Structures are given as structure tokens and as C-alpha cells.
A = this chain, B = another copy of it.
Amino acid sequence: MNTVITVVDLVGTFAFAISGATVGVRNRLDLFGVLVLSFAAAAAGGITRDVLIGATPPVALANWHYLAVSCVAGVVTFYRYADIKRLRNPVRVFDAVGLALFAVIGTLKALEHGLGPVAAILLGMLSGIGGGIVRDVLVARTPVVFQSDLYAIAAMLGAIVVVVGKALDLPPVPVMLASATLCFGLRYMAIRYDWHLPVAPHRDG
């Protein structure tokens, strides 16, 4: 089980890092800027979660695998941007896998550190979407997660399943699988059928 989680974690990190590197290349950053965006997209959600629950140093700093995987993703995207663009759909699927895993792990970690159910759901979401928010803030654009595709809702539903499973004392492995499947499935459907949340009907004119 642990090996599976580690592999999925690194795959998710890689996919998130590619999303960061892609934004960096599009914004004409230099190689260093692209690597920073790779690492920020992959790790900022987990780092923020760890700082908020007082678990310092954050695991994404203490364990160098995250940085190494992010840098590989960044370098590949930097030099092979055309190929990465062509692989956009598989990358989005891996990204959804990463989202599901990060949300599940983040929620569990928050519960283990004694946070309440509402805070654990928030921190699970943040683990999944925080990297994308920091990535977008660093290139001065409104985070796409605020405007699109049920991305955050998928993470939230995954986190809720984990919290409910814990509250009902259900066995953890099936709960984690159900949570990750729900999160991944909703995100996948949102990509495939272009589902969105509503935008406010009122305007300034």
C-alpha cells in the first residue's frame, strides 16, 4: 500500500510540476523561473498545509524527492514544450490523479494533527489546490481554480469523504479509495463534459 501511495504521490507531483512549468514557459520566464513555478505548483499546497498545522519543516522541503521530481518535470517542459503541449490530455488525467491523492493525504494529515472536521476539509482542499493558486499568483493572474471546472469542489468532496469515514470509524483503506475515486471521477467528468460552477449573475455594467 505504502509503495503504491509513494508512486502515485510522485506521479501527481510530476503532473502538478508540469502545470507549473507550462505556465512559466508561456510567461517567458527563464529556466530558473520555470523551475520555481514547477516546484511551487507541486509543493506549495502541502507546504502551506504543514505550516498551518505547525508541522515544520514541511515534508516537501524535508524530503528532497519532491524537489527532484519537480525539477525533472520543469526541465523537460522547458526544453520539450511542444511535446508537453501535445500530451495535454494525459497530463490533465495525471493532474486529476494528483489532486485526488493530495486531497486525501492532506485531509488525513490534518485530522492526525488534531484539527476539527471543518478545518481538515479546508486543509485537504488546500493541499490539492494550493499549488495551483501560488503558481498563478506568481505570474500575476487570478488563479484558474477560482474560475473553472469543479477543480476545488472535487478536492472538497474527496476531503469530506475522508472526514466522514473517520467520524464513522470506517476502515481507512476503502475510505481512502472511495474518496480518491470520487475526487478523480468528478474532476475527470468536469474535464470531459466541461462542467462548471455558476458565475454571479450581477455585473457592474
Contact = CB atoms under 8 A, between A and B. Distances in A.
A57 B52 contact: yes
Contacts of A79: 200-201
A24 B57 contact: no
Q: Which of A57, A122, A147 has the most CB of B within 10 A?
A: A57
A62 B54 CA distance: 12
Contacts of A36: 146, 152
Contact of A137 (B51, B119, B140, B200): B140
A34 interface: yes
Interface of A: 24-34, 36-37, 47, 51-54, 56-58, 61-62, 64, 67, 78-79, 81-82, 85, 113, 115-116, 118-119, 122-123, 133, 137-143, 145-148, 152-153, 196-202, 204
